[in-house]
Structure 1
């Protein structure tokens, strides 16, 4: 009998379904799991989804824990720890992902590993935020829980409505994460790793007139061939987190390369469209090797 491995993600979304396809082709078993419909019964020790106790599976692959990042998504990861405690292998481990979904937790870990990043200030004080903006000149105010630049605000020192916009941002984000805007030269990079091993690097080329390069904002994938020292930077950035699959976001600036963040779930579409690498197949092979070892 083949191994029973479920994919936690968004039913109907390409990357979730493609990963489930790759696992089904190898095992004959398919289960796509929407965590919003999972029930944890701690007394019975069961984690149920559509009649399946996830604690009885051989493995779970985390493609997406929620459509949008929020503190609620952290609770979903805590639920998965019950399955892990029952012996289910989870890729990546919930504890590792927990350290990445909060932008500040990721940043503090990267700083502790001496990874170069843009100048960053975190504060709840609007006066300190205004002083930081004056020092930076131009800065991106980022929510602690977001992906694809959602909720981010670009502010320039000296604008007439700066104080009001800082106040509006703080009303939605009591802890303000402020990062100096850097010159991306129209692109940034996604460096892909599987179980700590380097796979490939793709570029995200920004749309003309957009201050960020995300695909959500009209950016496009393109191939990129990094130098060995750049690959080493990406490897060092992802190493503290111990993820099964991840992408390190890197920018090449006039002052040298910097790391923005390490992705909790990685960029399967970027690897395929930008590098021609079928990361879903490679991930499926890795998971099966681990659960059968």
Structure 2
């Protein structure tokens, strides 16, 4: 057992946070789960305090979840972890890598720059432009720039009068001034999560729809199952995650008639899907990886 002090940033009491903390504790004898809502950054003192502990004195921090839901404030939490990194603490994954994924648009731009196949996507603040896009797509999935597990997403169909279409888009824009519109694609009743640790492919799981919901998320009643995607899909997901230099992640991929497309790369990765769908004990494997890659 090592004497390293490695903490977990997550949501106290949540399964994935606690199993990761358990796995690290069993290997180091040290346990600390950090709720970023309670930290205090003091730039003059050079400290990031949490319940009397200066996080800058730790050997490492593993980020399982930065907040329950994403928002621009989430970026501020990552900036505080970036300060800790500058003080010599190894953060898994690096704050800079995660910063490029919290904002959906940032993730999308990076994926496009690396030639990753994605559904047709248009981003605009202009209602007239948005209406034209929905007409072109026939149906558009409207996604908040900051969200997880399909929260806040909706489908807007083109088969309606201009007044009604504009009203729907204006309603969406009330909470999302920058409108992210993606062509709705026909899913084969499932989409995939491909799991990577240190850039190496571990396996895949599927989220399988159990209802008539347009998405397959567990929040919408989906279930996990084993998936064995073809090499082409694995290679695309491998390239997608490599663009962000993450320590642990899952890549969300959909299978279409014209080939696989990537929806997004996760800043933190899904433990439950990996375990229940693919039999991958991500908490144990990630803990071993952290110990192998921590500074001496």
Fold shared, TM-score > 0.5 on shorter chain: yes
> Structure 1: how far apart are the matches of 2:58 and 2:160?
56
Question: Which stretches in structure 2 are left out of the alignment for 5+ residues?
Answer: none
Residue 292 of structure 1: how far off its partner (Å):
4.7
Residue 191 of structure 1: how far off its partner (Å):
0.3
Superposition RMSD in Å: 0.9
Residue 226 of structure 1: how far off its partner (Å):
1.5
1:269 maps onto 2:291 in alignment: no
Map 1:49-128 to 2 at 5 A.
49-128=50-129
- Superposition misfits of 4+ residues, deviation over 4 angstroms: none
TM-score by length of 2: 0.98
- Matched residue of 2:16: which SS? helix
Deviations 1:71-126 (A, max 9, x none): 00000000111110110000000010000000000000000000000000000000
Question: Which stretches in structure 1 are left out of the alignment for 5+ residues?
Answer: none
Residue 208 of structure 1: how far off its partner (Å):
1.7
Specify the alignment match of 2:141 in structure 1. Answer: 140
Deviations 1:216-243 (A, max 9, x none): 1111000011222211111001101000
Does structure 1 retain, via aligned residues, the 8 Å contact 2:100–2:107?
A: yes
> Structure 1: how far apart are the matches of 2:284 and 2:106?
30
Residue 206 of structure 1: how far off its partner (Å):
1.2
TM-score by length of 1: 0.99
Does structure 1 retain, via aligned residues, the 8 Å contact 2:9–2:66?
A: yes
Residue 207 of structure 1: how far off its partner (Å):
2.3
> Structure 2: how far apart are the matches of 1:174 and 1:207?
33
Specify the alignment match of 2:202 in structure 1. Answer: 199
Count of residue correspondences: 293
Specify the alignment match of 1:257 in structure 2. Answer: 260
> Structure 2: how far apart are the matches of 1:119 and 1:291?
40
> Structure 1: how far apart are the matches of 2:23 and 2:78?
24
> Structure 2: how far apart are the matches of 1:177 and 1:59?
36
